[in-house]
Amino acid sequence: MAPKQQPRRQSITVSRGARKRDEDAGTEVGEGTDEWAQSKATVRPPDQLELTDAELKEEFTRILTANNPHAPQNIVRYSFKEGTYKLIGFVNQMAVHYSQVGNLIPKDSDEGRRQHYRDGLMAGSQESAKVIASETELLEEEGPKEAEAEAGSQTDVPAAEAAEKVTEEELITPKQPEERKLTNQFNFSERASQTFNNPLRDRECQMEPPPRANFSATANQWEIYDAYVEELEKQEKTKEKEKTKTPVAKKMGKMAMRKMTSVESQSDDITKVTQAAKIVERMVNQNTYDDIAQDFKYYEDAADEYREQEGTLLPLWKFQNDKAKRLAVTALCWNPKYKDLFAVGHGSYDFVKQSRGMLLFYSMKNPSFPEYIFSSDSGIMCLDIHVDHPYLVVVGHYDGNVAIYNLKKPQSQPAFRSSAKSGKHTDPVWQVKWQKDDMDNNLNFFSVSSDGRIVSWTLVKSELVHTDVIKLKVEGSTKEGQDGLQLHTVGCGTAFDFHKEIDDMFLVGTEEGKIYKCSKSYSSQFLDTYDAHNMAVDAVSWNPYHTKVFMSCSSDWTVKIWDHTIKTPMFIYDLNSAVGDVAWAPYSSTVFAAVTTNGKTHVFDLSINKYEAICNQPVVARKKNKITHVQFNPIHPIIIVGDDRGHVTCLKLSPNLRKMPKEKKGQDVQKGPAVEIAKLDKLLNLNRWAWCNPAHQASSPPKHSASG
């Protein structure tokens, strides 16, 4: 091998020398010097700007954001809590360009470290096992070799030496260990005891895959509305189909009947039980109060045939509830649709001892317990039931709030309630009245309070929006304050009533005893002013038939009947006690009732007697209770009277208190509003003639005063 390497070294040196000579020769000749000596010319595009050094050094900062420019910013979603569509403020700006699911584990993670450690232990245990096995094999091979050597065969010495060399080489370079197959710890066939395992059985079923379809569309308000309408129509069709389904066949086995009864017993609903319990309760009450029910339906006072101009009130039922004890009856109102149902508002007229309030609904079919019960933190001072929606009841509270209760909802809290933010009154609300819907078909009502404000409340979506219609001011009470400011005394409103035909006109009674004729169109001035009473006006009411006549009562013991075109009253009645409330009869234009604080109920019929009441009857004990309110039933000949102890008494009018025109032989008696208007007009004309004729006034007693 030495002679072969020498020429290769020589050849290498020769080549290096030749290369050196060639390089030296190249440098001497000077090839390539022209290329380096030439100047490099820069190539510029024709439209490139030429900037100065200052402009080149100027830095322009640009902020890069991670927002996705293609992400939509006007996504809306439906909020089931608020019932409207809400704009989503947070939009996902991340855009994924590539993603792949793999099973790689980072080396630095805990799981990677544990796996690496486990692999190292396994490899170490295998290597140690191989080393021990190789040592035992060597020892076994050395045993027979030593025996052969002792036999004395000299010829085998080189073979023994060769074997020793082979073993030494094997020890020096060990063979690669073969991978040992691990035992399956879950294979129990390798264990000593074996048990027979039953083969597993698979139960499978085949079915057609459900149909799938991909679609995309834009959803706007109209499409959502149409979808809801279609869903409602489908539900109505399914209900009709369920009703028209044939009943179950009569031929059923005993076992099937038992199953049906067990299922029905499990699916009993509490609503069915309550409905049945109501029916049973009314039946029990009808049996308990059978005598009173017979009196209410069929009994007529026979003594009225011998009394020409007098009538009586027959007590029927007394409605009371333990929860409303020590709370006065502050409001009464009949339901316009269900004529046997009426609402009672409970509060307190004692301003020093103000407490909670209650709203109860009684039915004449069940005098033992109210149909609905609603409680409030503040006393209820007035209420009114909507004509078109008899389940909506608006109430006014002592703390100045107004609220709307929905009888369809069983919860005790009002569906809508005013607050200090929405412009509630600062003094007690004395009267509320529903009005016709506004131009947008929104429900609205009016309220009057002692703070001098007459407020119009409109139910817009789920909020009460208020508008001040008129602020009452006492005329002639303007005072000049500091800096020439004019101070007006606020008039305290106590009652009001809207005209039956002229929607804009209404009357307002005040604590000063004045009655103002107002209009919704004029908020700064009154149409007319009446010096009506010497004390607070407790009630004002338009006649249901005659459009010019209204009635008022006051704590100054008087009831007055007015023609709104004349500033002086047409009739004055002194009842010798503070009058709490008055009400016109729905069946006659000349009949009205009044209640006084001495516990009496007075019923007048102007067509029979213009000077005094045809019925003066004490309804409650004079020393204990005071009557606060009275109301006529729309169709039945009864009135309800409330007192300051929370009791409501139902009274039946005798035939003399509800006389109708007598039918003469051969003549058809005319009935209707025109007859009632003519009857009251005749009385008013007579009274006007008496006032205009001084000679008649001197020769006759005053026809406008009941005490005269």
Asked if pLDDT for residue 43 goes beyond 60, the answer is: yes
pLDDT value at position 514? 87
Which range among 108-117, 187-196, 515-524 has the greatest average pLDDT? 108-117
DSSP symbol at 249 = P
Ranges of beta strands (E only) in 80-218 are 84-87
pLDDT value at position 139? 54
| Band of pLDDT at residue 563, cut at 50, 70 and 90 | confident
pLDDT per residue over 51-74, tens digit each?
898 988 988 888 888 888 888 888
Minimum mean pLDDT range among 203-217, 319-333, 350-364, 650-664 = 650-664
Q: What is the CA radius of gyration of the chain?
A: 53
| Band of pLDDT at residue 164, cut at 50, 70 and 90 | low
How far, CA to CA in Å, does 290 sit from each of 25, 283, 285, 298?
Answer: 146, 10, 8, 12
Which range among 124-128, 289-293, 631-635 has the greatest average pLDDT? 631-635
Which phi and psi (to 5°) does residue 369 adopt?
-150, 145
Asked if pLDDT for residue 411 goes beyond 90, the answer is: no
The helix/strand/coil state of 677 is helix
How far, CA to CA in Å, does 530 sit from each of 101, 132, 150?
Answer: 90, 127, 155
**Is the model's pTM score more than 0.85?**
no
pLDDT value at position 385? 92
Which phi and psi (to 5°) does residue 234 adopt?
-60, -45
- Residue 381 CA to residue 399 CA, distance in Å, equals 10
Which phi and psi (to 5°) does residue 225 adopt?
-60, -45
DSSP H or E stretch at residue 655: none
Structural tokens at position 555 = 């704590």
What percent of the chain stands above pLDDT 70? 73
pLDDT value at position 46? 85
Minimum mean pLDDT range among 301-305, 353-357, 377-381 = 301-305
Mean pLDDT (the chain, rounded): 77
Strand-pair category, 453-460 with 444-449: antiparallel
- The arithmetic mean of pLDDT across residues 569-591, rounded, is 89
pLDDT value at position 603? 92
Q: Which residues contact 655 (CB under 8 A, 6 or more apart)?
A: 300, 301, 304, 311
pLDDT per residue over 302-353, tens digit each?
887 787 788 888 889 899 888 888 888 999 999 998 888 999 999 988 888 8
Asked if pLDDT for residue 293 goes beyond 70, the answer is: yes
The helix/strand/coil state of 569 is coil
- Residue 289 CA to residue 285 CA, distance in Å, equals 6
- Residue 574 CA to residue 578 CA, distance in Å, equals 9
Asked if pLDDT for residue 416 goes beyond 50, the answer is: yes
- The number of beta carbons lying within 10 Å of the beta carbon of residue 432 is 25
DSSP symbol at 247 = P
DSSP H or E stretch at residue 229: helix 221-244
Length of the chain: 708
- Residue 33 CA to residue 35 CA, distance in Å, equals 6
- Residue 445 CA to residue 434 CA, distance in Å, equals 4
pLDDT per residue over 475-490, tens digit each?
655 555 555 555 556 6
pLDDT value at position 247? 53
How far, CA to CA in Å, does 157 sit from each of 141, 143, 167, 209?
Answer: 16, 16, 16, 84
pLDDT value at position 307? 79
DSSP per-residue string spanning 463-497: EEEEEEEEE-B-TT--EE-GGG-EE-PBP-EEEEE
pLDDT value at position 142? 56
| Nearest-10 Cα torsion for 509, 514, 518, 523 | -100
CB 495 within 8 A of CB 449: no
